[in-house]
Chain A
Amino acid sequence: MLSVNHLLGIKYLKKDDIDLILNTAATFLDVINRPIKKVPSLRDTTIVNLFFENSTRTRLSFELAEKRLSADVLNFTASSSSVSKGETLIDTVNNILAMKVDMVVMRHPMPGAAHFLSQRVKSKIVNAGDGAHEHPTQALLDAFSIRRKLGEVAGKKVLIVGDILHSRVALSNIFCLQKLGAEVKVCGPPTLIPKYLHTLGVKVEFDLRKALLWCDVANMLRIQLERQDVKYFPSLKEYTQLFGLNKELLDDLKKPIVIMHPGPINRGVEITSEVADSEHSIILDQVENGVAVRMAVLYLLANRPDVV
């Protein structure tokens, strides 16, 4: 059984929780590859997807996971709601919960929004990304994808490349991979590497080639221009030259590296199409695994007998 009532961040999970989620996800991956992809486990559960920020993959992945567990699903987007009329987050959620909704999946631009909500409403909360803080299900599906590709996560060397400063994926990945016994290094422009990172036991490398020679897995992140209020590097072209992954660089390493990307990809910026579509890439496996991992998270939270 999970030790937590909500999935707010990887920071709050124990290693046993992560192992339980990944093991359960493996059985759900089996389920979604059957001719009938649904199980009736959550047929008496209603889940609302509250998205205060744009999302394609995560929202569809959660919705599919919920439907494959037979839950009733409500979709909410802030732009077309009463939030634009001035309603607070707590009021919005409590109004939805008054309609007998059991679980809330929320993406919000403010870091800590899921944690804030979990202390103020009577529902189980799943954080689908809160600002530049955490994106726990992405980290879980990344760890799950590494485990499926390389057999295990423990002892593996994982490199995260790109905009670490604004990335919730990076922070959740660091917590998750370290709890599972992997070594984590980051690489990117010095302006996009947070100063506190060494306190998490993460090494920093500014030379992409050296960093790639070190790693077993490279997770290429997108430059989050929408979160950047000032210019962090001179130009995208310069960023691509220094931190973009292309086939020539990959071939030159003369060693197999697993390539990951949480999406959406900016082809030709952080990664070229040749690399993204190569046999080294498990980007589409990550998307498939995402549904299974989210099914596992929702199933295990709903399976906790003690309601909040």
Chain B
Amino acid sequence: MGQRKILDAEQCNLTLQRLCFQLIENHDHFKDSVIIGLQPRGIALAKQLYHQICAQIGNDFPYGELDTTFFRDDFKLKPLVPQTTSIDFQIDTKRVILIDDVLYTGRSVRSALDALTHFGRPASVELLVLIDRRFSRHLPIQPDYVGVTVDAVNNEKVIVDWQNNGQSAEVYLTTIQ
């Protein structure tokens, strides 16, 4: 099983800072914006960005976590164990930023958009991902904010390895034999 490093911890920190400033620039100090991390693997990234943004703008804003298990389209194909959803605020008229670690087929994001409608009607929904895998999309879904774009074929897997209690990450591309 071959493995190639795409981002080391230092490069990842720089990427997170850039994403953080892009969000602040586009969201006007988050007066009407909320961050929602996608369970399970988008949570570490969402938390890290949330803390960085709060430190930068000097105030906090709504943060939630969304599990999409019950909305997935691969229900009959593999066992799916639900995680916690925690959205204890209204998303009506809010600008929602969905956050996940890797965008691959787009099916998780599709299920997230479905799940999100159960919490209200947001003014807009944007998508932020740390890694965008090109050439692998099954659905017409594209991210608004991207950490790194990776060209990977189907027998390769992107691994985001969070370290130091989710403060930094290293990203690898692994070939599955």
- Indicate whether A27 reaches chain B with its CB closer than 8 angstroms: yes
Check A30 against B79 for contact (C-beta < 8 Å).
no
Nearest opposing residue in chain B for A31, CB measure: B70
Q: How far is the CA of A107 from the CA of B30 in the complex (A)?
A: 54
Interface string of A294-308 (1 = CB under 8 A from B): 000001001111000
Check B70 against A39 for contact (C-beta < 8 Å).
yes
Nearest opposing residue in chain A for B75, CB measure: A41
Check B71 against A305 for contact (C-beta < 8 Å).
no
Check A20 against B114 for contact (C-beta < 8 Å).
no
- Indicate whether A24 reaches chain B with its CB closer than 8 angstroms: yes
Which of A27, A36, A305 sits near B78, CB closer than 8 Å?
A: A305
Closest CB pairs A-B (n = 8): A39-B70, A1-B79, A27-B82, A36-B118, A41-B70, A34-B118, A303-B79, A41-B75
Residues of the B chain whose Cβ atoms lie less than 8 Å from the Cβ of A23 = 81
Chain B residues 30 to 53 lying within 8 A of chain A, measured CB to CB, are: none
Interface residue count on the A side (C-beta < 8 Å): 19
Contacts between chains A and B (CB distance < 8 A), count: 43
Check A20 against B81 for contact (C-beta < 8 Å).
yes
- Indicate whether B80 reaches chain A with its CB closer than 8 angstroms: yes
A256 nearest CB across to chain B (Å): 29
- Indicate whether B124 reaches chain A with its CB closer than 8 angstroms: no
Q: How far is the CA of A82 from the CA of B158 in the complex (A)?
A: 58
A contact patch SS: loop
Which of A1, A20, A39, A303 sits near B71, CB closer than 8 Å?
A: A39
Check B119 against A34 for contact (C-beta < 8 Å).
yes
Residues of the B chain whose Cβ atoms lie less than 8 Å from the Cβ of A86 = none
- Indicate whether B101 reaches chain A with its CB closer than 8 angstroms: no
Check B85 against A303 for contact (C-beta < 8 Å).
no
Nearest opposing residue in chain A for B82, CB measure: A27
Count chain A CB atoms within 10 A of each CB in B70, B80, B84 and give the residue with the most: B70
Check A305 against B82 for contact (C-beta < 8 Å).
no
Residues of the B chain whose Cβ atoms lie less than 8 Å from the Cβ of A299 = 70
Check A303 against B67 for contact (C-beta < 8 Å).
no
Size bin of chain B's contact surface: 20 to 34
- Indicate whether A151 reaches chain B with its CB closer than 8 angstroms: no
Check A40 against B114 for contact (C-beta < 8 Å).
yes
Q: How far is the CA of A31 from the CA of B83 in the complex (A)?
A: 12
Check A305 against B81 for contact (C-beta < 8 Å).
no
Known contacts A35-B120, A40-B71; 6 additional CB pairs below 8 A are: A24-B81, A27-B82, A27-B85, A39-B70, A39-B71, A305-B78
Chain A residues 1 to 60 lying within 8 A of chain B, measured CB to CB, are: 1, 20, 23-24, 27, 30-31, 34-36, 39-41, 44
Interface string of A127-159 (1 = CB under 8 A from B): 000000000000000000000000000000000
Q: Report which B residues bind A (CB closer than 8 A).
A: 67, 69-71, 75-85, 114, 117-120
17 pairs, CB–CB < 8 Å, chain A vs chain B: A20-B81, A24-B82, A27-B67, A27-B69, A27-B84, A30-B85, A31-B70, A34-B118, A35-B119, A35-B120, A39-B70, A39-B71, A40-B114, A41-B75, A302-B75, A303-B79, A305-B77
B70 nearest CB across to chain A (Å): 4
Residues of the B chain whose Cβ atoms lie less than 8 Å from the Cβ of A302 = 75-76
B21 nearest CB across to chain A (Å): 34
A172 nearest CB across to chain B (Å): 24
Nearest opposing residue in chain B for A42, CB measure: B75
Residues of the B chain whose Cβ atoms lie less than 8 Å from the Cβ of A20 = 81
Q: How far is the CA of A44 from the CA of B76 in the complex (A)?
A: 10
Nearest opposing residue in chain A for B70, CB measure: A39
Nearest opposing residue in chain A for B80, CB measure: A303
Q: How far is the CA of A20 from the CA of B79 in the complex (A)?
A: 12
Q: How far is the CA of A40 from the CA of B118 in the complex (A)?
A: 11
Residues of the A chain whose Cβ atoms lie less than 8 Å from the Cβ of B117 = 36
Q: How far is the CA of A255 from the CA of B71 in the complex (A)?
A: 45
B137 nearest CB across to chain A (Å): 22
Nearest opposing residue in chain B for A304, CB measure: B79
Residues of the A chain whose Cβ atoms lie less than 8 Å from the Cβ of B69 = 27
A5 nearest CB across to chain B (Å): 13
Q: How far is the CA of A31 from the CA of B115 in the complex (A)?
A: 11
Residues of the A chain whose Cβ atoms lie less than 8 Å from the Cβ of B79 = 1, 303-305
Q: How far is the CA of A253 from the CA of B71 in the complex (A)?
A: 49
Residues of the B chain whose Cβ atoms lie less than 8 Å from the Cβ of A39 = 70-71, 118
Residues of the A chain whose Cβ atoms lie less than 8 Å from the Cβ of B77 = 305
Check A27 against B118 for contact (C-beta < 8 Å).
no
A269 nearest CB across to chain B (Å): 40
Q: How far is the CA of A30 from the CA of B88 in the complex (A)?
A: 11
